[in-house]
Structure 1
Amino acid sequence: MPQSRSGGARKGTAAEEPGPMSIGAVLNLLRDEFPEVTISKIRFLESEGLVEPQRTPSGYRKFSAADVERLSRVLRLQRDHYLPLRVIREQLDALDRGEEIRLPGPTRPADPLDGIPAPAVAPDAGIPDGSGISESLTAGRVGRTELMAAAEVDEEQLAEWETYGLIAPARDGGYDAETVTIARIVADLGRYGLEPRHLRMVKAAAEREAGLIEQLVAPLRRHRNPQTRAHAETTARELATLAVRLHAALVRSALRARLH
């Protein structure tokens, strides 16, 4: 459907703001329409290249009216259409070129964590043709035998992973594509000498991060505005993406300190 809503922040728009604005002033403008927005959210959108404010010689951000308009559009596309940032960036680039864009009707994302960078392993990578595993993954589940074949491990190894809580079946006894990915990574780490007991801390850290994200989005999920409640899923995806990036950066930094 054609884009039906244009414009930026509503009450107290950027056009009424004289001159460049600080990030705090931008936050105040946006919160009228987007009460869940935070300074961290604005910084995240900047880090993703969706807005590029000017910087003062001392490094402070200065936003123009056009920047606020752009941020409003991004937030609206997320809230009303649940578009991933990659698609939003393409939409903005098209608008910058003067092209007309068409937006899908509002839909809910299939997975609250959709969009988190995944390991560079395709769901069916390394699976022999005709094994049936790829087709089962497409359907959403694989069985225990298929999981062992995908990870190239035996029953004893899989049972050990389950003992340490690294792998767990769903209620129907099957394993989803994410679990298959985890199994492959655990198997690969094992070939370097990392045993399941070594990975318990990784599992515990992931659960703590997930719990922290859940706490952060809980106020949004309890909000009276249904659009704000729905926006909790987008926020969870973005927080998870940042957590993954932070973890990777911390590991690289720690290794650099130890290896140099």
Structure 2
Amino acid sequence: MTAHTPTSVEARSVPSSRRAGEVRRRGDELLSIGAVLTFLRDDFPEVTISKIRFLEAEGLVEPQRTPSGYRKFSPADVERLAYVLRMQRDHYLPLRVIREHLDAIERGEAPPALPAPEARPGPVEEADRELVAASGAAGGVRLGRAELLAAAEAGEGELAEWEAYGLIAPGPDGGYDGEALQVARLVAELGRYGLEPRHLRAMKAAADREVALVDQVVAPLRRHRNPQTRAHAETTARELATLSVRLHAAMVQAGLRVRPSGHA
């Protein structure tokens, strides 16, 4: 992939802010990653340097390198980054689809039509959907490390950091199940909003406490001599986990709703 001058189709899809316009006016001037971050944050306050590096690692932008290895971005590179960030923010498109859009634009073609806008589900509905997806996949999915990275649209460095903070761990065979995949996808998505693994340690600690609470309830059932009672313990554990996650989502939703305007 080479840097290119955005077509009219692409130009209409990127921010038209004062800073983006200033980037275009700079012509052939190359920018450091810090300068690119400053320009992009005018329209995408959540963007981080690690996010820009991730998009580079995924092949969505290829900045030039100085002899000492520093990244130098052209105005066209900045336009590409803005396009990717906008498609993620406004249309929730995965990187694979965004790459198809950019490839079409480079060929001088109109990108694929965008899906009709939909109302995003609330936190409780989102939690229900994630639980269903995880429980449906956990039994049959077994992914290797490379497969997990591809499915979560993450880089090796990110996965290593998630594991270092205890957010995700491979199984005894070194593979990952469907629940691990859901965790990876959610952690990656939170990362796109600037939340790093160190910020998520509190969530992991809260989850561990909830697991301990569920274990307290079902432990006597698991030790029971009756096989049917032991089987009921697993059903009870799943139901309690579902209720716990839904309660957490509802409390977050309620807390955000009553939060005073302008509260930091």
Task: Provide the TM-score with structure 2 as the length reference.
Answer: 0.46
What TM-score do you get using the length of structure 1 for normalisation?
Answer: 0.47
